[in-house]
Structures are given as C-alpha cells and as structure tokens.
Structure 1
Amino acid sequence: MNTLFQIIGYSIFIGVGATLFMDIYAVLVKRFFNISSLDYAIVGRWIGNFKNGIFVHQNILQSEKVKRERIIGWISHYVIGVSFAFLLLWIYGINWLKNPTFFPCIILGIATTIAPWFLMQPAFGFGFAASKTPNPAVSRLRSLQAHFIYGLGLYLAALLLSCFLNKSYD
C-alpha cells in the first residue's frame, strides 16, 4: 500500500479515536462536575459563515445561526482531530506506530491549543487566548486540559492501532 494512503488511513483511526476519547472525557466532566465544554455548534456557525465571507465575529454567540451548524461543527471537530493525527504521523512516520511513545502525542496535543487560542477564539470575538471571556484563566486551563486529553487519546489510539499492526507483522 502506498505510504501516503497508509498515513491517511492510520490518521483516520488515530484521529477519530483521540477525538472520541476527548469527547468522552468532556461528557464525564459535564456529568460529574457540571462543567460544559465547547458547544461545537459555535464552530459550525463560524465555518458556516465562511460562505458569506465572514471569518471574524464581534461575538459569535450573538451572530445569526447557520443552518445545520451543530452538524457542521461536529464534523469539523473530527476532521480537525484527524488532521492533527495526520501531522503526528507525518512527523514521526509509520514506523513510529510499531512502538508508539507517549511524549510526542502529549506534546502535539498541548501544541494543538494554539488553534483555539490564536485562531478560533479571536475569530469568535473571545480575544487571543480567551482574553475577552469572563474568566480567561479558567478558559485557558480548560483548553489546555481538553487538548492534553486529546494528546492522551492520540497515544491510546496509536497504541491500540500498533497492537493490530504488530499482530499483522508476526
């Protein structure tokens, strides 16, 4: 199989697995601590407005809703998760999957916090690194926590995939 197609296939497995792990964590945090995570309808509203040439909002919560914004947001959430998994495999290569290591996943997971802090939150009207939110420090900590969990999910999904791949090499 072509290496690029292998990387894409493995990225889908790892990215969906890591994003699902992140979402399960968010459900548990909501259930046990009553702390909500990002409503992906907001992401869908942002992306849905691209067709109108609107990329930045004063406050996206006050922007007009977009048809199917929740679906757009959730699909985008998983596509982004797969894209970051692709980046991981692009950097470390397929051979890394024979024996995945923890720190590259955690480092990449935490590094992905750059996207919400410096792209999405400013575009939503929330300021750089949530500086215009009611409690920026809490918002930043929650972003870091969610992306750390995503990194942990990358590692666990890669470990699971490596079990399948290592059996096929035997």
Structure 2
Amino acid sequence: MEVCMAVEIIMLGTGATLLMDLWALARKRWFGVAALDYAWVGRWLGHMRHGQFRHAAIGEAPTVRGEHALGWIFHYLTGLLFAALFLAWVGDAWLQRPTLAPALAFAALSVAAPLLLMQPAFGMGMAASRTPQPWRVRVRALLTHLVFGLGLYLMGLLAQWL
C-alpha cells in the first residue's frame, strides 16, 4: 500500500469513527440514549482466546483484564478497516471529488457487522431480535453507521482541501 493511501485511510477512518463517537455522546446528552459500552467489545474479544465466540448476555460474562482499552482500540481499528474497504470500493478517484451518496451507501451496508455479527455474539440475537425493542436498536445502529458515512464524506472533503 502506498504511504499516501495509508494516510488517507487513517484520516478517513479515524475522523469518521470520531464523528460517530461524538454522535453517541450527543445522543446520550440530549436524548438519554446510552451508547454501546466498548468494554463489552473488549470482553467479547478477550473471551475469544479461550474459544468462546458467543455469549448468552455479554454484560453478564466475566470481565476481561483491559477490556475497556481493547474494546476502544478494536473500535478504531474497525473504523480504519471500514475506511480501507470503502476506498477499495469507490476507488482513488473518490478522494479527488468526494460525494456523499457512496459514503452513505457504504455506511448503510456496514451496519450488517453489528446486526449480523456482534449482536448475535453478544446474546442480543440476529439483528437485535432478542432485545425488548429490536426495531429501535436496528434504527439506532443504522443511524450511527450513517453518521460514520457522513464522517467519511467530511474527511474526504478535508483530505481534498489539504
């Protein structure tokens, strides 16, 4: 991978993930909507080294040393991976003329990760089917990922400007 492309991936992925986190803080402050506890992500990853990939309820699983840090690091690494996948999908030309539609389309597709992988592994069922209000969880996940897409677009504009 060329150095310039690596810098762009880091910029897009970090910026988009940061915007997503700011959105989560705003939702919590303004609407009282709790964000995902990234310690759960770290706990999930920590249990994988012992062969446990699914949990009945991740919040009740034994804690893992360093789970907060592990979860947050994985969260930002996932943002970098998604940025790299996005750029592989749209190509380098997108960076010359960033547009919103592809970023939002990719973000909408990326919501498959929590719905089909993480939520079932955390004990929430496929697409949050075991939660008290599955559609609310699904819509929130989609909105959060669309904010990530907006972040990709805004960081693309910033990269173009720089």
Q: 1:68 aligns with which of 66, 69, 78?
A: 66
The answer for the alignment partner of 1:77 in structure 2 is: 75
The structure that has the greater radius of gyration is 1
- Residue 49 of structure 2 aligns to a residue in which SS? helix
Q: Partner of 1:101 in structure 2?
A: 99
- CA deviations over 1:116-153 (Å, ceiling 9, x no partner): 00000001111000000111111111101101111111
Q: Which deviates the most, 151-160 or 87-96? A: 87-96
2:52 equivalent in structure 1: 54
What amino acid does structure 2 have at the position aligned with 1:123? A
- The Cα of 1:31 is off from its aligned counterpart by 0.9
Show structure 1 runs of 5+ residues with no match: 165-170
CA distance in 2, matches of 1:7, 1:49: 34
User: RMSD in angstroms over aligned alpha carbons?
Assistant: 1.0
Aligned partners of 1:132, 1:55: CA distance in 2, in Å? 18
Q: Is the 8 A contact 1:7 1:90 kept in 2?
A: no
For residues 13-43 of structure 1, the C-alpha deviation after alignment (integer angstroms, 9 at most, x for no partner) is 1000000001011111111111111111111
Task: Please give the TM-score of this superposition, normalised by the length of structure 1.
Answer: 0.92
* Separation (CA, whole Å) in 2 of partners of 1:56 and 1:5: 37
Structure 2 alignment gaps of length 5 or more: none
Q: Matched residues in 2 for 1:130 and 1:87: separation?
A: 25
> What's 1:161 paired with?
159
1:150 aligns to 2:148 (yes or no) = yes
SS at match of 1:49: helix
CA distance in 1, matches of 2:115, 2:47: 20
The one-letter code sitting in structure 1 at the alignment partner of 2:8 is: Y
C-alpha distance in structure 1 between counterparts of 2:91 and 2:7, whole Å: 13
Offset at 1:4?
3.8
Corresponding residue for 2:11?
13
